[in-house]
C-alpha cells in the first residue's frame, strides 16, 4: 500500500531555508569544536585517574571485610549473590537468585516508510515527489500513527502491556555489598519459560478483549500467532544472572563504591568473571582510548556537516541554473572537507596542549633540539672537504 505526494518549493523559500541552514551550521561548528576540545581534557583526566588508581589499588580477599582498608581503593573478585528475590510484581513472575528481571513486549503494528526524489528547474525552484509505503511489523515501541502521512486505515492501538525492567537494590560479592544495577549490568540474560498457570494469571490482569495464550514459553495476546493482526502482542520475560565478577572501587564499610582520585575523577571498574587488577585497569585505558576516538570522529563529522550547512546557501544561489548548483555544491563539499581537516586537528592539538602544557613544551623542545642537531650535522658534513686525488704524472717513455 503506497501513497505519492508531490510538493513544489520556490527558489525564495529555498533561499530562506539556506539562510537558516547557515546559522545552524555556525552553531554546529562551534558546538563540535567545543566537544573536541572538551574530549581531550576528559581523556587526559581519565588517563591520569586510572594511572593513579593502578598505583594505589590493593587486592583483598572478598570473603572477609578488613576494616583497615576502609577508604582505600581495593580490588575484589568472587561469587555473586543477589540480596533479595526479584519479581515482576504485576504478573507474579519470579526470578529467584537473579539480579534483574525484564519484561519485553512487542506489538504487531503499522510502520511508515518514505522515499523522495527531487528534480530541479530553471529559476531555482524544485519539485519533490515522495512515496509513502505502509507495512506491518513487530516492534517494541509504538509507532504514533497520528503522525503518518495517511493515518486513516493505519491506526496503531496503545500497548495493553508495557515493557519493564526490575533490578535488585544490592548484591554481594563475597562479603562485600554493591549497587544492584552495577552488578546486573555485567550479567547474561536468559528467557524465563512460562507455564499455563502463569498465562492464566496474566490474563486476569491485562485489560484486553483479545485472547491471552501460551506460545512456546511466551505469552501471545491475539487470535493466532501464525496470522498476527495489528495490535497483537508478544510478551516474554528474561532473567539476568551472573556467577562471578570482579570490581575495583573504594571500600566504604562493607560496600564497594566509586573512588575519587586527586583530580576529581571517579574510579569504579567492573568485569564479569575473575579479572586481576592490572588487567582491569588496562581494559579501562583501552576503553578510554576508544571513547576518545569515537568522540573525535563524531566531532570531525559535526564540523564537516556544519560547514556543509554554512556553504549551502551558495548552492541555492547556483540552483538558478540547475547544473551550476550541483557544481557549486561539489566545490563547497571539498572546501568543507579541507576546512574540517584543518580546524579539527588544530582544535584537538590545542586541547591536548592546554591540558598537558609541560609535556607539550617538552615534546616541542625535544623536536626543536632534534631538528637543530640534524641541521648541524648536515652543515658539518657539507662543509667537510674531500681531499682531491693525487695528480697522475705521465712519464716519458725511454728509448730502446
Contact assessment for residue 272 and residue 242, using Cβ atoms and an 8 Å cutoff: yes
Beta 58-59 vs 73-82: how paired, if at all?
Answer: parallel
pLDDT in tens, the chain (400 residues): 677 877 776 767 777 888 888 999 999 999 999 999 999 999 999 999 999 999 999 999 999 999 999 999 999 999 999 999 999 999 999 999 999 999 999 999 999 998 888 777 666 667 788 899 999 999 999 999 999 989 999 999 999 999 999 999 999 999 999 999 999 999 999 999 999 999 999 998 898 889 999 999 999 999 999 999 999 999 999 999 999 999 999 999 999 999 999 999 999 999 999 999 999 999 999 999 999 999 999 999 999 999 999 988 887 777 677 777 778 878 888 989 989 988 888 888 888 787 777 655 665 566 567 766 766 776 776 555 445 555 555 444 444 3
Helix residue ranges per DSSP H, the chain: 11-56, 180-184, 196-203, 277-318, 322-355, 357-383
H/E run at residue 104: strand 100-120
Taking the C-alpha atoms of residue 183 and residue 170, their distance in angstroms, rounded to an integer, is 8
Taking the C-alpha atoms of residue 247 and residue 259, their distance in angstroms, rounded to an integer, is 12
Contact assessment for residue 114 and residue 130, using Cβ atoms and an 8 Å cutoff: yes
This prediction has a pTM of 0.79
Cα 28 to Cα 301, 304, 308, 336: the distances in Å are 10, 9, 10, 13
Beta 126-139 vs 100-120: how paired, if at all?
Answer: antiparallel
- pLDDT number for residue 291: 96
Exposure pattern of 335-373 as b/e (b: 16+ CB <10 Å)?
A: ebeebbeebbeebbeebbeebbeeeeeeeeeeeeeeeee
Taking the C-alpha atoms of residue 334 and residue 344, their distance in angstroms, rounded to an integer, is 15
Domain boundaries, the chain: 2-46+291-375, 58-273
- pLDDT number for residue 360: 56
Taking the C-alpha atoms of residue 179 and residue 84, their distance in angstroms, rounded to an integer, is 12
Length of the chain: 400
- pLDDT number for residue 30: 96
Cα 191 to Cα 162, 167, 395: the distances in Å are 17, 16, 106
| DSSP structure string for 45-91 | HHHHHHHHHHHH-EE--TTS--GGGTTSEEEEEEEEEESS-EEETTT
From 340, 2, 369, select the one nearest 153 (Cα to Cα). 2
Contact assessment for residue 152 and residue 168, using Cβ atoms and an 8 Å cutoff: no
| DSSP structure string for 167-199 | E-SEEEETTEEEEHHHHHTTSEEEEE---HHHH
Q: Give the count of alpha carbons within 13 A of 212, CB side only.
A: 21
Amino acid at each position: 500500500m503506497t501513497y505519492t505526494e508531490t510538493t513544489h518549493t520556490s527558489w525564495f523559500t529555498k533561499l530562506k531555508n539556506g539562510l537558516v541552514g547557515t546559522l545552524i551550521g555556525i552553531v554546529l561548528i562551534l558546538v563540535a569544536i567545543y566537544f573536541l576540545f572538551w574530549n581531550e581534557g576528559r581523556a587526559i583526566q581519565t588517563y591520569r585517574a586510572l594511572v593513579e588508581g593502578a598505583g594505589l589499588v590493593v587486592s583483598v580477599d572478598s570473603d572477609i571485610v578488613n576494616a583497615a582498608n576502609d577508604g582505600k581503593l581495593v580490588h575484589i573478585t568472587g561469587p555473586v549473590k543477589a540480596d533479595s528475590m526479584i519479581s515482576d510484581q504485576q504478573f507474579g513472575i519470579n526470578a529467584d537468585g537473579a539480579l534483574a528481571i525484564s519484561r519485553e513486549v512487542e506489538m504487531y503494528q503499522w510502520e511508515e516508510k518514505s522515499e523522495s526524489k527531487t528534480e530541479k528547474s530553471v529559476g531555482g525552484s524544485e519539485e519533490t515527489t515522495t512515496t509513502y509505503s505502509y507495512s506491518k511489523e513487530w516492534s517494541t515501541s509504538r509507532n504514533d500513527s497520528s503522525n503518518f502521512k495517511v493515518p486513516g486505515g493505519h491506526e496503531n492501538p496503545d500497548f495493553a502491556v508495557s515493557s519493564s525492567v526490575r533490578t535488585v537494590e544490592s548484591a554481594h560479592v563475597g562479603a562485600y555489598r554493591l549497587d544492584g544495577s552495577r552488578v546486573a549490568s555485567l550479567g547474561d540474560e536468559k528467557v524465563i519459560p512460562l507455564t499455563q498457570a502463569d498465562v492464566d494469571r496474566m490474563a486476569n490482569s491485562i485489560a484486553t478483549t483479545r485472547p491471552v495464550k501460551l506460545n512456546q514459553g511466551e505469552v501471545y495476546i491475539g487470535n493466532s500467532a501464525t496470522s498476527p493482526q495489528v495490535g497483537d502482542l508478544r510478551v516474554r520475560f528474561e532473567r539476568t544472572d551472573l556467577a562471578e565478577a570482579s570490581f575495583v572501587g573504594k571500600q566504604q564499610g562493607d560496600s564497594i563504591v566509586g573512588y575519587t582520585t586527586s583530580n576529581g575523577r571517579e574510579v569504579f571498574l567492573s568485569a564479569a568473571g575473575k579479572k586481576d587488577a592490572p588487567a582491569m585497569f588496562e581494559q579501562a585505558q583501552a576503553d578510554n582510548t576508544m571513547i576518545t576516538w569515537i568522540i573525535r570522529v563524531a566531532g570531525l563529522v559535526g564540523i564537516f556537516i556544519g560547514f556543509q550547512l554554512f556553504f549551502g546557501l551558495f548552492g541555492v544561489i547556483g540552483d538558478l541554473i540547475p547544473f551550476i548548483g550541483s557544481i557549486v555544491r561539489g566545490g563547497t563539499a571539498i572546501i568543507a572537507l579541507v576546512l574540517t581537516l584543518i580546524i579539527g586537528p588544530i582544535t584537538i592539538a590545542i586541547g591536548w596542549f592546554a591540558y598537558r602544557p609541560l609535556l607539550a613544551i617538552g615534546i616541542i623542545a625535544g623536536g626543536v633540539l632534534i631538528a637543530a642537531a640534524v641541521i648541524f650535522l648536515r652543515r658539518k658534513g657539507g662543509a667537510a672537504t674531500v681531499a682531491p686525488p693525487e695528480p697522475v704524472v705521465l712519464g716519458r717513455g725511454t728509448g730502446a
